[in-house]
Structure 1
């Protein structure tokens, strides 16, 4: 980026100073240089130019100082000055007008106004040709040159506008992706912390219930609350760090996967839920599948603990079915709290995870008692 800035010319680096210099150069060129015999260019002394003509030259050239922010006005001043010079048949501001025509194409936001200014400049050029008896081919050449100059400026402006629009679209797309990613991480935050808080709530309730009769069990329950609380804080710090704009994804730790199931089962065992895992998976799974499978199992077991309480038994079955994997979580207890069907974000979050991977989720009570959660995730399928 710095290299590109280093290659920028003075008109881009110091626009005001450059435009002031351009105005001065155009004034001197218009005043001191004129057409000579046989299509030659000669100089003339400034003392030979009438004061009113010098004033017109000065005003027309001064308009070029504002050619970037007032391009149409600068062109109008130049064209008006050129028209005033027509009766003299000797003096003109055609050179200044040519630069003003380019500036109108390059810097004017209104293409229609630029075209009107170009037409006015061409009209004055033709009028001068009639007054001075200029040959037709020279007049046509002058008109063509003026159009090419304006069109060049216009194309440069349009190209710059398209580049700005492209950069804005890219920036908008980047903002959209960041927003989606943060929404996804917010769901992660709910899933992780809600699981740990549920463990803490159940364990604290159990400790309170047995504190008077079984202090040792109460102590173990409170130790489990402490451990779950520490893990919740660690995961909360981790996920909040991801949500910070300046955080780099390169510094993030690995997300949990199916290899972490023993640790998850141990946490629920400490909370009083007997979880048995049947793993029929043979092939290694992509990280996105492992993460979603882990979170679905975590949320389903959290609901088992929340609605079945300590002492509940649960089974987790993992198996392959063609190109899909099937995750089934079954509990055997009658709910002691509102049905998991009313678990709010829990089941919605599990279904959303399965849907995002192109899979499905089925939930419902079992005829023989308890509750069943079954997720089917395509391994090689496209995400929804």
Structure 2
């Protein structure tokens, strides 16, 4: 069963996640192994509060080491203590408002240069890192870093004679900002990769769901074509046997023999389809799918059921692509099944199959009661139309010009054109 083997077998293993990956995920779809998140990421507000307190204490410690006793008294009793406290407390909001926080710390640094202790504040190092790490506008971030270097250079080389140590301080300030900036770029890159992975996973899931739906539709068409045709033959023959059972027992036995043959044929085709679905390659092998070469036997079966079928073929129909060959047979089979169900007794049917330059042209016309009798909500015509459209062709079904019902279709050759 070539067409079914192309797609039906792929239905196993299709799902939102591959088999190996599904074992690594919880019931809610999240992976069992989550990426490690340290305390800095789990409790950011608490971490920033502790960081602000640490910056304040380190600032006081730095001033106490570098300052004199008189200067320390001025610090404690003056406004520099408040400046250090404000600069350090601003770090609590360094993640959400890095530019504003840096502006506050920069102003505090500028004010400290005017006091008795102009040794800087530790909060500036954390502010520079946060400016590089969390500021979205790169130009504003760079400008903030340059302003900090300008204020620090004024303090070190204009108001004081720092020497080589001052250059090292400026270098460290620039390095801290640069590290934060590089970490931001890396974080953005990883975020984009995660978004792309989620997008690819979503597309894969959608493709898997679409493949499942297409395979279900394909299986439904195959089952309908196999079962509906044979059951229609069995129903017609059983009805005929019941009608002539008393008057003509011999004819009744022939009709029941035809019912038995149709049932066996249906079982063979069903077994054939189940072999493909289960991927069982052992055994006696699978018979080839029916095609144009089997149209005469199909016509004979329908004619034996009571319809007068005239088969006309034009062109070379022997070397068609497998999908086209199967579609021709299935469409003719379904059209003749509809004739048996709806056209009425004694209906004449003409089946014309023509191999043209564009593809195989089909026309099935009957002289029955027409579409008025076909009031059911079946899948026959829609299944025939789907077969034609999957090949890039079309199918039209409706009342014929001279009465009855007419089915016309064009099935392109595609890449396998003979």
Bigger mean CA deviation after superposition, 247-256 or 159-168: 247-256
Partner of 1:116: 96
Partner of 2:302: 268
Which of 326, 329, 333 is the aligned partner of 1:298?
333
8 Å contact kept, 2:56–2:123: no
Q: Structure 2 vs 1, CA of residues 341 and 318 (structure 1 numbering), >3 Å: closer, same or farther?
A: farther
Match of 2:257 among 200, 205, 223: 223
Instruction: Label 1:331 to 1:114 Cα distance change in 2 as closer, same or farther (>3 A).
Output: farther
Name the TM-score, length of structure 2 as normaliser: 0.58
Does 1:83 pair with 2:63? no
Query: How do 1:3-82 and structure 2 match up within 5 A?
Result: 65-66=38-39, 70=42, 72=44, 75-76=47-48, 79-80=51-52, 82=54
Question: Which residue does 2:358 correspond to in 1?
Answer: 323
Q: Secondary structure of the residue that 1:282 maps to in structure 2?
A: coil
1:307 aligns with 2:342: yes
Asked if 1:140 is matched to 2:174, the reply is yes
Conserved? CA contact 1:202–1:309, under 8 Å: no
Aligned length: 299
Change (3 A) 1:114 1:227: farther
- Distance 1:192-1:171 versus aligned 2 partners, 3 A rule: same
After superposition, give the CA deviation of every residue in 1:30-68 in whole Å (9 maximum; x if it has no partner).
xxxxxxxxxxxxxxxxxxxxxxxxxxxxxxxxxx74456
The equivalent residue for 1:24 is: none
Q: CA RMSD in A?
A: 4.3
CA distance in 2, matches of 1:308, 1:13: 62
Q: Secondary structure at the match of 2:177?
A: helix
Structure with larger Rg: 2
- In the TM superposition, what is the alpha-carbon distance from 1:148 to its structure 2 partner? 1.5
Relative contact order, higher structure (CA 8 A, sep 6+): 2
Shift of 1:75: 4.9
Secondary structure at 1:275 match in 2: strand
Q: Is the CA contact (8 Å cut-off) linking 2:359 and 2:410 kept in structure 1?
A: yes
Q: 1:240, CA displacement in angstroms?
A: 6.3
Q: Structure 1, residues 149-188: CA drift from partner, whole Å, max 9, x if none? A: 2432342233133223212212222221221232233233
User: 1 CA distance for matches of 2:280 and 2:55?
Assistant: 65
- 1:126, distance to aligned residue in structure 2 (A): 0.9
Q: Give the aligned partner of residue 226 of structure 2.
A: 192
Deviation at 1:138, TM superposition (A): 2.0
Q: How many angstroms apart in 1 are the aligned matches of 2:261 and 2:239?
A: 16
Flag structure 2 segments of 5+ consecutive residues without an equivalent. Answer: 1-17, 19-30, 64-92, 106-121, 129-151, 157-161
1:156 aligns with 2:154: no
CA deviation map 1:177-212 (0-9, x unaligned)? 221232233233223321122112111111111111
The alignment's TM-score, normalised by the length of structure 1, stands at 0.62
State the Cα distance separating 1:77 from its structure 2 match: 5.9
SS of structure 2 residue aligned to 1:298? helix
Q: Which sections of structure 1, spanning at least 5 residues, go unmatched?
A: 2-11, 20-63, 91-112
